[in-house]
């Protein structure tokens, strides 16, 4: 359908059009033409009054999008922005609304291109998107400067550019965005100073510009911002003084300016910022005294560490809500004020590296109970005494090293004088005991940890989420409140959220990986469950439009990724329709529009019928024209006729396989060459340009362990790839229980080595490098001599190329493809594809070679099963006994390698080159062993190399757990 420029619903249009056209012809014959024309004219008149224009994107916006696309590099082809109208043809990331009462055109309301590996720069025509509300380009690699034209988009509410490589200074024009609610440009390379014009951002609540190179003075004018809630400017090059005026800001909750170079005192007036929840001024070259902040009722987090502050700590009592007080690494003197005592939520009091003296009062850790933990760091001061340490509570960590109290300390004190470590924040993994078979363990589905019914199996959405400025130091006591907060913000039930992991990062910031599970629905009658599309869109919308209310304790969040995997992978976000219909729409107008619409569609239909025929002609001409200049060395251009002849007109009996791409046929060319022909099915067809790019790429790959491409056919809307034929089929067939001639260990090892060499070639010799992305036993083919040849790398995405600075980003972020059971767990968690993802999949193939098992069978995952057997010293219990006698040392080495390839953490997997090297060593070792065997086959010592089934089985029987967990068909005799 794409040749005609319509998307799939174009089909419905054509049908509809045909009907209307028939009616039109009929009306013509009936001679009612005049009447109809009259009606049409009337409607046209009516429409021009109502300004109900054509349902297309406003021309200036459509051309602006083209210009934007032109400046962006999109290595992974996320932007399907090539055909049709931006708002109608589902351009990815473009959301529109219908300005039905304004000008009748569709207008771009959101441009959201989150985490798509885009580079290039931003075109100034961005400013033409005059109706834009959200501009979200987070987590790409876009460079260049921020176009000042963005300042023209008066409707803009969210400007989200964080996590790119933008440089240059902040344009003054950004200050003239009257509706801007949120500006996030953190984690870029912005330099220059903060424009004074930002003082006009009357509606802005959030300014996040941390981690840039912004320099100069913070404009005191910023204090005029009436709505500002969060000001994050940490990790920049700001200098000058801290403006006194900021204390007049009526709504400021978070002031975070760490790691800048101010040369000033902390204005005492900051004690009047009554809404403040967090004040973080670490490492800012500040001098003078610690201000008295006791009047701030809700202060939860205070960090003034790594400055040059002097004098005593103010003795007035801080807010009872405080969780964190960090005054370390200053020049403070005097003693600890008694008012630091019994703060009910305190988690960390850091006073180390100062000149404090006197006695440490035990009242500080009074009432520490429940899940609260408390770290008290008093190291490197002049404390001479500590009161009442006979029964220190278990939840309290006290550090006293480097104080006089530690010299000649008694038993009770000396325990605090060593170097104590803090908390270990590994969240406990809740183990669910459920039948192994009821939930496919393919990583996409899992048992819902807190499910209201036992063993509810569902596919989670995975969300990378980071708290940018949390008001706490220890997350564990806040884990439940956080779950309550987030689920109520997302309007989900509590059990639908599970925090998969969390980790503290520099900042401190708290990164979490969340899983969101669908609602349990007992009507569905099915044990497993998925979110439906509208629910996914709703949840994603809440995250990406920042409509989740912010929390005092948790502070602002950022969305790192929102990955759609497994059952969700192919759900394309729908475009919203007509969201801009204003409330004031009069019923009469609506009626008129409806009547008009019917007649207009008549006209449109007729036009479409005409255009259809014209376009069809144009397309076939274009195809013929563009075919002529393409010639690729070593690859033959077959006609459809050639292909039909070779396969007996694609007769079913010649079909030898079926893959994601389409059917595979065995064909015999007229020179009697036997070939495999892959014919793309509908949905796999590519644009002609992409198809030829791919063939061009494949034609350059030549390796003994890669299936070679012989030719292609691109004709009549059909695309086919012609490969050399592999008479021995797939590796998977030979490992299955049905295989007649089982592969020997030597053959298996040779296949492993061959496949590895093929993949190493793709990673290192191909230009540009290729990650296979879908290595599996059924993609490893065997030729007549059982030489392994890797297939299907044509569907690979290219590996990342060096960027402008010559830095290899190391991974490709992309939609997860691949086959369940072979998927690198880190890949689908972070969505980052690396060469190590191929190593993982290959490791799974190795395990299949060793055990004959499927990657997933009976709900069990091969990597986990083999690992368990290996660790408990019973690896031979899982070895495929059909491969006959084998040298146990080689098998053990091979298995150890396979398991290393399947490690969960990318970094601990071997590189592809190491895999090849290790396999070559094992191969050599095996050859030597074989020789030794054939020389002294009767020597009992050598025979013992082969674990005899009878001696080894005994030891397995003791472990009934393991026995039951292993597929019985592969158990040794």
Ligand X SMILES: *[C@@H]1O[C@H](CO)[C@@H](O)[C@H](O)[C@H]1NC(C)=O
What Cα–Cα distance (Å) separates residue 571 from each residue in 266, 440, 967?
A: 52, 20, 35
Q: How far is the CB of 271 from ligand X (least distance, A)?
A: 15
Binders of ligand X in range 485-544 (CB under 6 A): 506-507
75 three-class SS:
coil
Q: How far is the CB of 258 from ligand X (least distance, A)?
A: 9
Q: How far is the CB of 289 from ligand X (least distance, A)?
A: 21
Do 99 and 123 contact (CB within 8 A), yes or no? Answer: no
What Cα–Cα distance (Å) separates residue 672 from each residue in 170, 646, 668?
A: 68, 9, 6
Between 550 and 700, name the residue whose CB sits nearer to ligand X.
Answer: 550
- Minimal CA–CA distance to 550: which of 482, 499, 498? 482
Binder to ligand X among 553, 564, 839, 922 (CB under 6 A)? 553
Is cis: bond before 564, omega within 30 of 0? Answer: no
Please tell me the distance from the alpha carbon of residue 552 to that of residue 480, in angstroms, as a whole number: 15
Residue 906 interacts with ligand X (CB under 6 A)? no
Sort 625 into a burial class: Cβ within 10 Å, 0-12 / 13-18 / 19+.
Answer: exposed
Residue 435 interacts with ligand X (CB under 6 A)? no
Q: How far is the CB of 832 from ligand X (least distance, A)?
A: 17
Between 224 and 509, name the residue whose CB sits nearer to ligand X.
Answer: 509
Residue 563 interacts with ligand X (CB under 6 A)? no
Residue 298 interacts with ligand X (CB under 6 A)? yes
Between 259 and 647, name the residue whose CB sits nearer to ligand X.
Answer: 259
In sequence order, the 6+-apart residues with CB closer than 8 A to the CB of 672 are: none
Binder to ligand X among 329, 330, 473, 529 (CB under 6 A)? 329
Residue 330 interacts with ligand X (CB under 6 A)? no
What number of other Cβ atoms are within 10 A of residue 15's Cβ?
10
Strands (E), 77-190: 94-98, 106-112, 119-120, 134-136, 143-145, 158-160, 165-167, 182-184
Structure token digits, residue 832 = 């980052």
Q: How far is the CB of 140 from ligand X (least distance, A)?
A: 15
Tell me which residue has its CB nearest to ligand X.
298
Binder to ligand X among 197, 212, 235, 705 (CB under 6 A)? 235
Contacts 24+ apart (CB under 8 A), 603-607: 603/40, 604/17, 605/13, 605/16, 605/17, 605/20, 605/21, 606/17, 606/20, 606/21, 606/24
Binder to ligand X among 17, 55, 128, 321 (CB under 6 A)? 321
Q: How far is the CB of 835 from ligand X (least distance, A)?
A: 25
Between 156 and 327, name the residue whose CB sits nearer to ligand X.
Answer: 327
Binding mask 144-183 for ligand X (x = CB under 6 A): ----------------------------------------
Between 259 and 832, name the residue whose CB sits nearer to ligand X.
Answer: 259
Between 253 and 679, name the residue whose CB sits nearer to ligand X.
Answer: 253
Annotated catalytic residue within 186, 258, 474, 774: 774
Report the DSSP beta bridge partners of residue 504: 510
Residue 347 interacts with ligand X (CB under 6 A)? no
Q: How far is the CB of 254 from ligand X (least distance, A)?
A: 13
Interface size with ligand X, residues (CB under 6 A): 17
Between 201 and 322, name the residue whose CB sits nearer to ligand X.
Answer: 322
Do 556 and 468 contact (CB within 8 A), yes or no? Answer: yes
Binder to ligand X among 121, 379, 841, 861 (CB under 6 A)? 379
Binding mask 630-669 for ligand X (x = CB under 6 A): ----------------------------------------
Between 300 and 800, name the residue whose CB sits nearer to ligand X.
Answer: 300
Do 378 and 352 contact (CB within 8 A), yes or no? Answer: yes
Between 148 and 317, name the residue whose CB sits nearer to ligand X.
Answer: 317
Contacts 24+ apart (CB under 8 A), 87-94: 87/56, 87/57, 87/575, 88/7, 88/55, 88/56, 88/57, 89/7, 90/7, 90/572, 90/574, 90/575, 91/65, 92/572, 92/573, 94/65, 94/575
DSSP secondary structure string, 31-68?
T-HHHHHHHHHHHHHHHHHHT---SSB-HHHHHHHHHH
Structure token digits, residue 676 = 């495999």
Q: How far is the CB of 534 from ligand X (least distance, A)?
A: 33
Do 220 and 196 contact (CB within 8 A), yes or no? Answer: no
Interior CA angle at 13 toward 10 and 19, to 5°?
A: 150
Q: CA gyration radius for the chain?
A: 34
Q: How far is the CB of 75 from ligand X (least distance, A)?
A: 23
- Minimal CA–CA distance to 825: which of 928, 904, 927, 718? 904
Between 379 and 473, name the residue whose CB sits nearer to ligand X.
Answer: 379
Between 110 and 352, name the residue whose CB sits nearer to ligand X.
Answer: 352
Residue pointed to by tokens 């929840």: 277
Do 109 and 579 contact (CB within 8 A), yes or no? Answer: yes
Which is it for the CA torsion 535, 540, 545, 549, positive or negative? positive
Residue 353 interacts with ligand X (CB under 6 A)? yes
- Give the rounded distance of the alpha carbon of 497 from its chain centre: 18
Residue 352 interacts with ligand X (CB under 6 A)? yes
Q: How far is the CB of 905 from ligand X (least distance, A)?
A: 20
Q: How far is the CB of 245 from ligand X (least distance, A)?
A: 24
Q: Single out the segment in contact with ligand X by CB under 6 A; choices: 321-329, 495-503, 746-754, 838-846.
A: 321-329
Q: How far is the CB of 177 from ligand X (least distance, A)?
A: 25
Please tell me the distance from the alpha carbon of residue 320 to that of residue 315, in angstroms, as a whole number: 14
Binding mask 245-264 for ligand X (x = CB under 6 A): --------------x-----
Between 429 and 807, name the residue whose CB sits nearer to ligand X.
Answer: 807
Do 677 and 646 contact (CB within 8 A), yes or no? Answer: yes
Residue 328 interacts with ligand X (CB under 6 A)? yes
Residue 551 interacts with ligand X (CB under 6 A)? no
Binding mask 179-218 for ligand X (x = CB under 6 A): --------x-----------------------x-------
Residue 402 interacts with ligand X (CB under 6 A)? no
Between 472 and 966, name the residue whose CB sits nearer to ligand X.
Answer: 472
Residue 774 interacts with ligand X (CB under 6 A)? no
Please tell me the distance from the alpha carbon of residue 112 to that of residue 963, in angstroms, as a whole number: 51
Specify the DSSP class assigned to residue 675: E
Can you count the helices (H) and strands (E) in the chain? 19, 46
Would you call 377 a catalytic residue per the annotation? no
Report the catalytic residues.
774
By the criterion CB under 6 A, which residues form the site for ligand X?
187, 211, 235, 259, 297-298, 321, 328-329, 352-353, 379-380, 506-507, 552-553
């Amino acid at each position: 359908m794409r040749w005609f420029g319509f998307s799939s619903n174009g089909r419905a249009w054509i049908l509809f059009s045909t009907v209307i056209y028939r009616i039109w012809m009929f009306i013509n014959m009936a001679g009612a033409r005049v009447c109809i024309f009259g009606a049409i004219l009337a409607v046209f008149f009516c429409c021009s009054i109502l300004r109900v224009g054509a349902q297309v994107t406003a021309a200036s916006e459509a051309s602006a999008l083209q210009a934007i696309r032109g400046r962006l590099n999109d290595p992974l082809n996320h932007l399907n922005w090539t055909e049709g109208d931006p708002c109608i043809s589902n351009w990815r990331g473009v959301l529109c609304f219908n300005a039905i009462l304004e000008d009748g055109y569709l207008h771009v309301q959101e441009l959201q291109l989150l985490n798509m590996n885009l580079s290039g720069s931003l075109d100034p025509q961005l400013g033409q998107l005059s109706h834009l509300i959200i501009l979200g380009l987070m987590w790409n690699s876009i460079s260049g400067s921020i176009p000042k034209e963005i300042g023209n988009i008066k409707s803009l509410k969210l400007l989200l550019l964080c996590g790119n490589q933008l440089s240059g200074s902040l344009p003054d024009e950004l200050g003239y965005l009257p509706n801007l609610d949120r500006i996030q440009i953190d984690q870029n390379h912005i330099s220059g100073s903060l424009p004074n014009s930002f003082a006009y951002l009357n509606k802005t609540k959030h300014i996040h510009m941390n981690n840039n190179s912004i320099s100069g003075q913070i404009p005191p004018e910023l204090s005029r911002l009436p709505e500002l809630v969060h000001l994050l400017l940490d990790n920049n090059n700001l200098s000058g003084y801290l403006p006194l005026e900021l204390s007049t800001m009526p709504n400021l909750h978070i002031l975070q300016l760490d790691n800048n170079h101010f040369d000033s005192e902390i204005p005492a007036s900051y004690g009047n910022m009554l809404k403040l929840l967090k004040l973080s001024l670490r490492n800012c070259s500040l001098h003078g005294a610690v201000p008295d902040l006791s009047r701030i009722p809700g202060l939860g987090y205070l960090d003034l560490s790594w400055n040059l502050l002097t004098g005593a700590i103010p003795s007035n009592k801080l807010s009872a809500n405080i969780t964190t007080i960090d005054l370390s690494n200053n020049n403070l003197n005097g003693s600890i004020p008694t008012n630091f005592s019994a703060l009910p939520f305190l988690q960390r009091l850091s006073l180390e590296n100062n000149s404090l003296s006197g006695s440490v009062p035990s009242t500080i850790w009074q009432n520490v109970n429940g899940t609260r933990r408390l770290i008290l760091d008093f190291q490197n001061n002049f404390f001479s005494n500590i009161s009442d340490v006979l029964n220190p509570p278990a939840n309290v960590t006290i550090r006293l090293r480097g104080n006089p109290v530690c010299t000649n300390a008694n038993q009770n004190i000396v325990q605090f004088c060593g170097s104590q470590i803090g908390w270990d924040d590994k969240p406990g993994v809740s183990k669910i005991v459920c039948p192994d078979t009821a939930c496919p363990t393919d990583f996409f589905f899992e048992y819902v940890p807190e499910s209201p019914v036992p063993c509810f199996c569902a596919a989670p959405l995975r969300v990378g989420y980071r708290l940018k400025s949390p008001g706490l130091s220890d997350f564990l006591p806040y884990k439940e409140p956080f779950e309550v907060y987030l689920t109520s913000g997302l309007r989900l039930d509590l059990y639908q959220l599970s925090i998969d992991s969390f980790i503290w990062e520099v900042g401190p910031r708290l990164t979490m990986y969340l899983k969101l599970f669908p609602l349990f629905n007992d009507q569905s009658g099915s044990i497993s469950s998925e979110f439906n599309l509208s629910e996914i869109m709703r949840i994603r919308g809440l995250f990406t439009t920042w409509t989740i209310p912010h929390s005092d304790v948790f502070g602002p969040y950022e969305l790192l990724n929102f990955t759609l995997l497994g059952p969700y992978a192919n759900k394309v976000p729908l475009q919203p329709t007509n969201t801009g219909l204003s409330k004031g729409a009069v019923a009469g107008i609506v009626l008129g529009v409806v009547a008009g619409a019917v007649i207009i569609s008549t006209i449109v239909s007729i036009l479409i019928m005409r255009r259809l025929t014209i376009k069809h002609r144009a397309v076939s001409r274009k195809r013929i024209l563009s075919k002529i200049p393409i010639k690729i060395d070593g690859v033959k251009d077959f006609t459809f006729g050639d292909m039909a002849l070779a396969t007996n007109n694609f007769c079913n009996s010649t079909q030898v396989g079926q893959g994601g791409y389409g059917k595979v046929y065995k064909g015999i060319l007229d020179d009697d060459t036997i070939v495999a022909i892959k014919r793309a099915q509908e949905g796999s067809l590519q644009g002609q340009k992409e198809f030829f790019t791919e063939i061009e790429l494949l034609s350059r790959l030549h390796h003994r362990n890669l299936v070679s491409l012989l030719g292609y056919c691109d004709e009549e809307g059909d695309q086919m790839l012609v490969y050399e034929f592999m008479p021995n089929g797939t590796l998977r067939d030979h490992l299955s229980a049905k295989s007649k001639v089982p592969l020997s260990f030597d053959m298996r090892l040779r296949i492993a080595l061959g496949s590895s060499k093929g993949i190493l070639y793709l990673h290192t010799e191909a230009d540009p490098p290729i990650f296979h992305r879908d290595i599996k036993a059924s993609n490893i083919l065997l030729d007549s001599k059982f030489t392994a040849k890797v297939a299907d790398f044509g569907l690979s995405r290219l590996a990342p190329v060096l960027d402008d600075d010559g830095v290899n980003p190391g991974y490709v972020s992309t939609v997860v493809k691949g086959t369940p059971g072979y998927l690198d767990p880190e890949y689908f968690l972070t969505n980052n594809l690396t060469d190590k993802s191929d190593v993982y999949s290959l490791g799974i193939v190795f395990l299949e070679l060793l055990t004959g098992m499927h990657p997933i069978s009976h709900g069990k995952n091969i990597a986990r099963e083999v690992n368990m057997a290996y660790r408990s010293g019973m690896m031979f219990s899982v070895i495929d006994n059909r491969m006959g006698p084998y040298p146990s040392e080689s098998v053990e080495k091979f298995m150890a390698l396979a398991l290393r390839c399947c490690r969960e953490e990318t970094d601990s997997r071997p590189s592809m080159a190491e895999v090849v090297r290790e396999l070559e060593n094992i191969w050599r070792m095996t050859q030597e062993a074989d020789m030794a065997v054939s020389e002294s086959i009767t020597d009992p010592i050598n025979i013992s190399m082969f674990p005899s089934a009878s001696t080894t089985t005994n030891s397995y029987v003791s472990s009934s757990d393991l026995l039951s967990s292993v597929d019985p068909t592969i158990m040794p005799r």
